[in-house]
Amino acid sequence: MARCLYLLWFLFFWFLLCSSTLLKITATEDLSIKKGILKERVRKMFYHAYDNYMAHAFPHDELKPISKTFTDSLSELGNLKLEHLPGNYKGSALTLIESLSSLLILGNNTEFERAVLWLSDNLIFDVDARVNLFECNIRVLGGLGSALVIRQSYIAEDLGRRFLLAFDTPSGVPYAWINLKYGVMENETTETSTSGCGSLILEMGALSRLTGDSRYEASALRALRMIWSMRSPLNLMGTTLDVVSGDWIEHSSGIGAGVDSFYEYLLKAYILFGNEEFWNMFKSAYIAVQKYFRHGPWYHESDMRTGKATYWQLTSLQAFWPGLQILVGDVAAANSSHREFFHVWEKYGVLPERYLLDMGMLHPTERYYPLRPELAESTFYLYQATKDPWYLDVGETIIESLNRYTKVDGGFASIRDVTTMQLEDHQHSFFLSETCKYLYLLFDDSFLANQNYIFTTEGHLLPVRSRWHARLPETYVSTNLTSLKNKHQQYHQESAMTQQICPATNLAQKLESVCHVPDARIDHRCKVNYDCGIDSITCRDRSCSLAGYCGLWSHH
């Protein structure tokens, strides 16, 4: 009996001695097993999206996963009113182009080679289709450019040459739209966005470095310098501008739609090309954002002229910001914003397009979730920087939501309304180039082990090479803003937001909602009706009560 007890005590102490080491080993093992399982789930998601696209939509642009058909959507991207749609455009294999760099990361070199070969033989850009320069740049030129770095192929150059025609403007800032076959159309809109003309430098710069033709980089840089020279004394930018007069049209801006990738490209251009000029622009712009837009972990919009808050809204595109903050090293700020975004994801199951922070409610019309990548992207960066396993749980939650709500037999469908989880028959190409890629890299970053890369705003890879850190071409003449102003004084455009055009309630029409609530006063106290702006739900003017509160009081 006593011997037996001794043995038990011995075993007990032995257990105590080993358990601490054992626990550690089990924890690391658990973690790598968990990462392995989740990585395989993302791989399955990618191939479910990819194989269905190849079966039902290729060589058209994007898959309609519910009806298992296709949409030739390149000419519809950014074209909210669906104007000037081409008659006989048959698609450019957009989703295949967008999948190239993801195939590499997943280690499928055979399929990558097969795709590049098909594209070199079949892709033609001499088509009568009006496309958005920004969308076509980040998706098509970016996707092909990324492949071009790895595999010599000159299809990207043909597209780049067509882009150059857009830059022939008095300001040097390119038109937002270009017809691939005929160049800029007659009576083309002269309004473009800050991100539309300020985030071309990575793709066009890379194209110049690869082909030795400096015109692409020179054009993009000239445009970037021009809009940077248009910043306010507070170092703030507006959201839209006129490419002929060089005037701002929309003076309110934030870090979301219409501006987001402008900031992203200043920092990433510095990383890719090593030029201090980009860093100096980024530093000033970043400080201004943190000073005038940030409110705790949230970001609102402000007027570039006064720095005063305008719209208190969370938009799902803003979720990329913590990822950018990781590249700057601002880990704590990134962590706190990312947590708030993730709480909104948890609340609704996915991230709704727009959320009214001041009212604590969803936007009345922008309740969709089109499979956007931004939260997964930031989660990937935060995990890389902190190795905090909590971010793996975030990734797991995102994977579970995507599979539960958006997976259908024929691919992954967008969500039309996060309150009903009603689906929309559209699998956006960025689901393959970004959403799946960032989730995969969260659990397996071995692709990034031997080479430094930066990701374009569409998730395409560009290797960071020291020989690209040479001086930039010095051939550009910067535009004289003063003389441009004198020449085009007659132009004055008003933004839709300034005009307070109300949103279309019919989502099928795809009109952008521009009904916002200007909110100069945080406490909603007012002196005159003008202080109260318009109501975002009814789109009626709000008025100021006798007690000094804004509301929908009837006018008498």
Binding positions for ligand NAG, rule: CB under 6 A: 47, 50-51, 108, 111, 186-187, 331-332, 335, 386, 480, 482-483
Q: How far apart are CA 18 and CA 514, in angstroms?
A: 63
Q: Say how many residues make up the chain.
A: 556
Q: How far apart are CA 369 and CA 353, in angstroms?
A: 6
**Known active-site residue 353:** yes
* Minimum distance of ligand NAG from residue 467's CB (angstroms): 32
Q: How far apart are CA 276 and CA 98, in angstroms?
A: 31
* Minimum distance of ligand NAG from residue 283's CB (angstroms): 22
**Known active-site residue 260:** yes
Q: Mark residue 385 as left, alpha or beta (left: phi above 0; alpha: psi -120 to 50; beta: remaining).
A: alpha
Any binding-site annotation on 194? no
* Minimum distance of ligand NAG from residue 226's CB (angstroms): 13
Q: Which is nearer to ligand NAG, 335 or 429 (CB)?
A: 335
Q: Which is nearer to ligand NAG, 141 or 178 (CB)?
A: 178
* Minimum distance of ligand NAG from residue 390's CB (angstroms): 8
423, β-bridge pairs: 415
Quick one: tokens of 275?
A: 């030029």
Q: Which is nearer to ligand NAG, 450 or 482 (CB)?
A: 482
Residue 500 and residue 519 in contact, taking contact as beta carbons nearer than 8 Å: no
Q: Which is nearer to ligand NAG, 336 or 422 (CB)?
A: 336
Residue of 111, 217, 247, 260 marked active site = 260
Residue of 62, 98, 250, 353 marked active site = 353
* Minimum distance of ligand NAG from residue 183's CB (angstroms): 14
**Known active-site residue 242:** no
DSSP-derived secondary structure letter, 462: E
* Minimum distance of ligand NAG from residue 147's CB (angstroms): 16
- Residue-by-residue DSSP string for 137-204: IIIIIHHHHHHHHHS--THHHHHHHHHHGGG-SSSSPPPSEEETTTBSPTT---EEEHHHHHS-HHHH
Exposure letters 35-56 (e unless 16+ CB within 10 A, then b): beebbebbbebbebbbebbbeb
Neighbours of 114 (CB within 10 A): 13
Q: Which is nearer to ligand NAG, 108 or 493 (CB)?
A: 108
Q: Which is nearer to ligand NAG, 482 or 499 (CB)?
A: 482
Omega prior to 233 cis, within 30 of 0: no
Residue of 111, 303, 374, 519 marked active site = 374
Residue of 61, 98, 135, 444 marked active site = 135
**Which parts are annotated binding residues for Ca(2+)?**
457
Active-site residues, by number, are: 135, 260, 353, 374
